[in-house]
Structure 1
């Protein structure tokens, strides 16, 4: 089996990459089997018009070569898509990390604010209780003083 893309015609063929769907003339492509001794039963794509007009330069492509070309194109596209997904994933992760940092900062600020408010509330409450305790001690001291002056 030869890997040549040329036929027995004396005219050069217009090369196509991958599996062809139409000839340059616009005609659809048909699949044939080779009957030459060199490529016995080897399958190829050919323009239907070229079957009757061997002197014209219409599409000719071995099926195995077309499929290999097609697989290479699919592999290349797969690589581009995989690279695109990797890049997309990196961008998304950067945005997620940035958003997490922003939210952590915002929560931290709100938490600090709430802690300050709670400390101020507790401080105010403690001052109130301290005032009451001070007044109570003054009253008790006065009562003790009066008691002492009355009992002496």
Structure 2
């Protein structure tokens, strides 16, 4: 087929086309023009018979480059999405770790307060026991000296 891009203006499509604007399937051809000899292109099957109508025409190499660029752009968007997701997960993990640290500190404070309370209570009971023993000792001392 001898078709040049100058005779058939392109319809705007990105990447590898699957159908023409008219709904017809796409076929590949080899160019036979001097400037694009053997260069492959996509063409609407109807355009083969109706050369005056503006059906899909696209160079295969350009379509592949567009497709690669679209995949690269999508890959970049996915990579950015993953990075944002990782950042959000790390933020949540850090919030939970900080919360656990705060809870541990509160628990330690409560334990320290309980230990201090029990120590104070034991000292108080020890003082009472000491005073009781001194009083009992004094009474025994007095009792033995009177008897």
CA distance, structure 2, for counterparts of residue 76 and residue 90 of structure 1: 21
Query: Which of 98, 116, 121 is the aligned partner of 2:118?
Result: 121
Q: Is 1:49 aligned to residue 49 of structure 2?
A: no
- The equivalent of 2:105 in structure 1 is 108
Q: Which runs of 5+ in 2 are unaligned?
A: none
Q: Is 1:91 aligned to residue 88 of structure 2?
A: yes
- Shift of the alpha carbon at 1:34? 2.1
- Shift of the alpha carbon at 1:8? 5.0
Deviations 1:75-94 (A, max 9, x none): 11111111122122222222
Specify the SS of the correspondent of 2:35: coil
TM-score between both structures, scaled by the size of structure 1: 0.82
Specify the SS of the correspondent of 2:94: helix
Give the number of equivalent residue pairs. 145
- Shift of the alpha carbon at 1:9? 5.6
Q: Which runs of 5+ in 1 are unaligned?
A: 1-5
Decide whether the 8 Å contact of 1:9 with 1:55 is kept in 2.
Answer: no
Go from structure 1 to structure 2 and tell me whether the alpha carbon gap of 1:66 and 1:11 turns closer, same or farther (over 3 Å shift): closer
TM-score between both structures, scaled by the size of structure 2: 0.85
CA distance, structure 2, for counterparts of residue 9 and residue 129 of structure 1: 108
